[in-house]
């Protein structure tokens, strides 16, 4: 597996564990709709939350969350609309970003941005 793919998968695994420890119920991982993919879909209280995970091994060129482009937001919201429709979700939705930075010889840094798309 390519290093960047391994970093992304490890970041998603760590983000999933982080969310579970915070009391979120994991509903789906790597949900696909057309060309779009949602990394993690969780539920907490009245919220259905679509989580985009971005991971890096260094921040020389910025933090991971800056890599969530307008196009990515568009794709994720489109896939989220399909998920909401197909599950007949009737309560609130939210879009979050989890940023993971893997630092040598240190614990990974995890930052959770709630309601990050708007």
Band (pLDDT 50/70/90 cuts) for residue 3 is low
Query: How far is the CA of 106 from the CAs of 21, 51, 62, 78, 103, in angstroms?
Result: 20, 24, 19, 37, 5
Would residue 45 count as lying in a domain?
yes
What tens digit of pLDDT does each residue of 61-82 get?
899 999 999 999 999 999 999 9
> Does the pLDDT at position 1 exceed 80?
no
Q: How far apart are CA 58 and CA 90, in angstroms?
A: 40
**Number of structural domains, the chain?**
1
Would residue 30 count as lying in a domain?
yes
Contact 27, 41 (CB under 8 A): yes
What tens digit of pLDDT does each residue of 15-33 get?
999 999 999 999 999 999 9
Phi, psi dihedrals of residue 5, rounded to the nearest 5°: -70, -40
- Percent residues over pLDDT 70 in the chain: 96
What is the per-residue pLDDT for 59? 86
Give percent helix, percent strand, percent coil of the chain, each to the nearest 5.
Answer: 35, 35, 30
Q: What is the CATH number of the domain that holds 14?
A: 3.40.1350.10
Would residue 118 count as lying in a domain?
no
- What is the domain range of residue 100? 3-113
Would residue 79 count as lying in a domain?
yes
What is the per-residue pLDDT for 118? 74
CB neighbours (10 Å) of residue 4? 11
């Amino acid at each position: 597996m390519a290093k960047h793919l391994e970093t992304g998968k490890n970041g998603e695994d760590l983000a999933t564990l982080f969310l579970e420890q915070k009391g979120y119920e994991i509903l789906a991982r790597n949900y696909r709709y057309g060309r779009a993919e949602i990394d993690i879909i969780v539920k907490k209280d009245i919220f259905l939350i679509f989580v985009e995970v971005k991971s890096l091994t260094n921040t020389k060129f910025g933090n991971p969350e800056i890599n969530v482009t307008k196009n990515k937001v568009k794709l994720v919201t489109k896939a989220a609309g399909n998920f909401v429709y197909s599950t007949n979700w009737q309560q609130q939705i939210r879009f979050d970003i989890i940023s993971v930075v893997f630092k040598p010889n240190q614990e990974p840094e995890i930052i959770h941005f709630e309601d990050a798309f708007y």
